[in-house]
Amino acid sequence: MASAVSAAAAICPERSRRRSRRNDLPGSIAVLLVVGVCVALSDVCAFCVGTLVGGPRLAPRVSPNKTVAGAAGNVLGAYLGLAIMAGIAPPEWPVAITLALPVVIAVASIWGDLLESLVKRAFAVKDAGTLVPGFGGILDRIDSLLLAMPLAYLALRLAG
């Protein structure tokens, strides 16, 4: 087995080097965890801040409960998530990405949520499923990730 791995490394050294690094961006568990935690905390903070502060509606026709304060809480939550996960974030991330990534994640998660709400409204459906009672279904749980993961990946790929 070891000789097969050595032969493969000789044929394609770049590929074997890439697989040996833990925090290599393509397929990196660390990036998935960082973005996932940022999205989860941004959703929680958006809900808490939006509920506590209230204020003007962000997109009343699409999602009447979303507020501008909730959107600010969303950004705050994404920064909080990155701060919590800083220990596993790849150390080679540039400072600009570290500062900009939470904003990308927050905006993308808001848009993902709004797009999913728009689709539900188009089909006159309140919840996207019944598998997770009280939470509106699986799609309602992952709607923020639908845009946040690919856009975070794109931002990280463009940065380095």
Domain count along the chain? 1
Section 116-138 average pLDDT: 75
On whether residue 71 sits in a domain, the answer given is yes
CA distance 155 to 160: 9
Question: What is the rounded average pLDDT for all residues in the chain?
Answer: 81
* Helix 95-122 × helix 29-53 angle, to 10°: 60
Give the pLDDT of residue 1.
44
On whether residue 15 sits in a domain, the answer given is no
Furthest C-alpha separation in the chain: 65
pTM beyond 0.85, yes or no: no
More confident: 95 or 6: 95
Give the pLDDT of residue 44.
94
CA distance 50 to 57: 10
pLDDT tens for each residue of 20-56: 454 455 447 888 899 999 999 999 999 999 999 999 9
Q: Which range marks the domain in which residue 29 is found?
A: 22-159
Residues 6+ apart with CB under 8 A from 2: none
Least confident of 35-39, 101-105, 132-136: 132-136
pLDDT at 13 over 50: no
On whether residue 10 sits in a domain, the answer given is no
Query: Which residues on neighbouring strands pair with residue 59, listed in sequence order?
Result: 63
Give the pLDDT of residue 91.
73
More confident: 153 or 25: 153
On whether residue 63 sits in a domain, the answer given is yes
Give the pLDDT of residue 141.
77
Q: How many CB atoms lie within 10 A of CB 64?
A: 11
Which 8-state DSSP code applies to residue 95? H
pLDDT tens for each residue of 79-95: 999 999 888 877 777 88
pLDDT tens for each residue of 107-120: 999 999 999 889 88
Percent of the chain surpassing pLDDT 90: 43
- Tell me the residue ranges of DSSP E strands in the chain: 57-59, 63-67
On whether residue 17 sits in a domain, the answer given is no
